Amino acid sequence: MSETLADIAIPPQFPDHTQLPESDGTFVKNFQEHPQTVILTDSIAQALQRLHPDGQYCIGQDCGIYWRETEPPEKGAAAPDWFYVPGVPPRLDGKNRRSYVLWREYIPPLIAIELASGNGDEERDVTPLPLAGGREGAKVGKFWVYERIIRIPYYAIYEISNDKLEVYHLVDFSYHKMQPNERGHYPITPLGVELGLWQGSYLNNPEQFWLRWWDLEGNLLLIGQEEAELQRQRAEQAERKAAQLAERLRAIGIDPDVE
């Protein structure tokens, strides 16, 4: 069969990202949410560039994933705090993405991360669509949507208030809670990284635990600021070694400045 997904015409009644709301008007629930999503994106950038030399991937930060048509439209969206989708362009028709529309692009995110302000009950909600539709004010559970409808292979829930991290892996159509490895990290094998908690300070925030990436050998993936500081330290170390070598040469009567 030669027909590809790109060849299939989408009926006009199925809206795209420019026609759907990009926000449901809710507040960001905690002060750590914005810097936390930034550190996740910043530190994994180099790994994703190696994984996708063609640049075909996108990252969503508190961005809606539309999984069904509803009225109003935003009721048919789930909005992970952070998610990554492989094999799709970062921009569509030259425009920044306003949301990710599953019925337009077909490819689910590989991983979604929720930063829970409370005890994580909302993020673990398994209320199915049929039950939610039959109760006044009931909402479809995020866990159920990610597991049964969008089918996101990896789902992480980080409870910020008590530094608790859970990661689920989709196996045989259902989520299985992963166990951390000997480093306390959770391998996300298709990405070639591990997810875990790191204690430190970031963007003038007090020292605390942050959700971060490591490579599969346990090396922390650095953000741009840390990488620049590491390069500065290496340059200073090289200068010190050169100065020490020059002093030793002078001590034995050799002028290191003479070619």
Q: What is the pLDDT of residues 140-192, one digit of tens each?
A: 999 999 999 999 999 999 999 999 999 999 999 999 999 999 999 999 999 99
Measured distance CA(224)–CA(229) in Å, rounded: 9
Strands (E) located in 160-241: 164-171, 174-177, 186-188, 193-200, 208-215
Q: Can you give the pLDDT at residue 229?
A: 63
Position 84, amino acid: Y
Decide if pLDDT at 66 tops 80: yes
Q: Can you give the pLDDT at residue 200?
A: 92
User: Domain 32-221 falls in which CATH fold?
Assistant: tt1808, chain A (3.90.1570)
First-residue to last-residue Cα distance in the chain: 70
User: Alpha carbon 184 to chain centroid distance?
Assistant: 19
How far lies 138's CA from each of 109, 129, 135, 157, in Å? 25, 9, 5, 22
- For the chain, the structural domain boundaries read 32-221, 223-258
Decide if pLDDT at 25 tops 60: no
Measured distance CA(73)–CA(77) in Å, rounded: 7
- Give me 13's structure tokens: 């009644």
How does pLDDT run across 211-259, given as a tens digit for each residue? Answer: 999 999 999 999 877 776 666 767 767 677 877 877 887 888 888 787 7
Measured distance CA(221)–CA(223) in Å, rounded: 7
Alpha helices (H) in the chain, listed in sequence order: 33-51, 102-105, 129-133, 142-144, 224-251
Model pTM?
Answer: 0.81
Tell me the DSSP string of 7-20: GSPPPTTS--TTTS
User: Alpha carbon 241 to chain centroid distance?
Assistant: 40
Listed in sequence order, the residues at least 6 apart from 146 whose beta carbon sits closer than 8 Å to its beta carbon are 78, 80, 112, 152, 155, 175
Measured distance CA(256)–CA(32) in Å, rounded: 53
